Amino acid sequence: MNGANSIPVTIISGYLGAGKTTLVNNALRKANGLKLAILVNEFGNLAIDEDLIISQDENMISLAGGCICCSYGNDMLLSLKELTSLDSKPDHIILEASGVAIPSSIERSISLIDDCYTESIVSIVDSEQIQDQLSNKYVSDTVLAQIESADLIFANKIDLIMDKKSLLSWIKNHYLLNKAIMVSHSDVELDVLLGANRQPGVLRDTSQGIKVNHANIFWSKVFIPNDFVDPIEFSKSLTQQNMHLVRAKGHLRGIDGNMYLLQTVGHRYYVDIADNEKKLGLVLIGTTETENLDVLKINLKKYGDFIY
């Protein structure tokens, strides 16, 4: 498991033009006090407002609020290593993979570095192009590998799709539904992209989500677990497909009396010993695809209850 000081890394993968850079730009704009470190292959189209830039050299841009952007060129691992040994450690690292990188192999490489761990692999696809890309003679296997190794798939540019129903059923036929989320303009709530980084007490029920252009709307709920829950068993329940959960993150007290940090994204989950002082409770994030919240409540009943 990951040490308490280990920095979570979210890998953003996707072929050229899918919207990775826009996603990263949006994350920076929404950081809101969270110290993000962004690793990109090249600065290229990274649109950073000039008044936010505190300093800049060839490989690093420092931003107001403690966020930084680094370009890694030909040495992703070394750049990552440098990030984890900074005096002022980032809260979260977002790694924008190159358009032809296979994220699962990036994940394996990250496993070689102490002090950080892969929190999730997010693949973003261009909903208009994806069917063509998956039959393109050169890139189909690469794009497929990017999708298959993802914990979450953002079907981006959904606003450009006339027949959303048929795209949705196509995605359903090809990929597990709870992995695929429809978005437009790479606009994703930070909690959905990175997991809830705030304490449950602070978070409000954010059903307002994103309502533009028929994108999926997210909801988040606070769940208070009973005392003495088996964290692994609970994680497995949360990640079952019929739960339609996007993410879950928070603290619970295990059977052995220890406090645990639990995180899930798609089918992936982490359990880690946590500080005993942590406040009990998890933030669960789903989309309106979750047809009936009652089903969720019933399924999770033996572990606790929602407070909202």
Partner 1 sequence: MTIVYSAKKIITMNPSRPITTHVAVRDGKILGTGDLDELHKWGEFELDNSFENKIIMPGFVEGHAHTMEGTLWRYVYCGFFDRTDPDGNTWEGAKTIDTVVERLIKADKKIKDPNAPLSGWQLDPIYMNNKRVSRKDLDKVSETRPIGILHASGHIMNVNSKALELGGLMKTGINHPGIPLGKDGYPTGELYGPDAMTPIGIHVGFNRSMTDSDKDGLVAFGKLCVRTGVTTVTDLAARLTEEGVEAMLQITGEKNYPTRVVPLKVFLGATPKETIELVKSLKKKSTDRLRLGRIKAVADGSIQGFSARMRWPGYHNGAPNGLWYTAPDQLSELYELALVAGIQVHTHTNGDEATEMALDMLEGALKKHASPDHRFTLQHCQLADAAQFRRMKKLEMCVNLFANHHYYWGDEHYKLTVGPDRALRMNACKTALNTGVPMAIHSDAPVTPLGPLFTAWCAVNRLTASGRVQGEEERITIEDAMYAITLGAAYTLHMDGEVGSLETGKSADFAILEEDPYLCAPDELKNIKVWGTMQGGRIFDAKTL
Which residues of the chain form contacts with partner 1 (CB under 8 A)? 15-17, 41-45, 58, 71-78, 81, 98-100, 102, 105, 108-109, 111-114, 138-139, 141-142
CB of 33 to partner 1, least distance (A): 30
- Which residues lie across from 118 on neighbouring strands? 9
Query: In the complex, what is the shortest distance from the CB of residue 118 to partner 1, in angstroms, rounded to a whole number?
Result: 12
Give yes or no for a contact between 11 and 107, defined as CB atoms under 8 angstroms apart: yes
CA distance linking residue 30 with residue 245, whole number of Å = 22
Instruction: Name which of 71 and 287 has its Cβ closer to partner 1.
Output: 71
Give DSSP secondary structure letters for 46-88: ----GGGEEEE-SSEEEEGGG-EEEE-TT-HHHHHHHHHT-SS
Return the H-helix or E-strand segment holding 296: helix 293-300
Q: Which is nearer to partner 1, 44 or 201 (CB)?
A: 44
Between 84 and 220, CB nearer to partner 1: 84
Using a 10 angstrom Cβ sphere, with 0-12 exposed, 13-18 middle and 19 or more buried, the burial of residue 89 is: middle
Q: Quote the least distance from Cβ 295 to partner 1, whole Å.
A: 36
Q: For residue 256, which of 230, 292, 286 has the smallest C-alpha distance?
A: 230
Q: Which amino acid is at 67?
A: C
58/294 with CB nearer partner 1 = 58
Q: Which is nearer to partner 1, 127 or 216 (CB)?
A: 127
Smallest distance, Å, CB 42 to partner 1?
5
To partner 1, the closest distance from the beta carbon of 141 in angstroms equals 6
Q: What is the DSSP letter of 280?
A: P
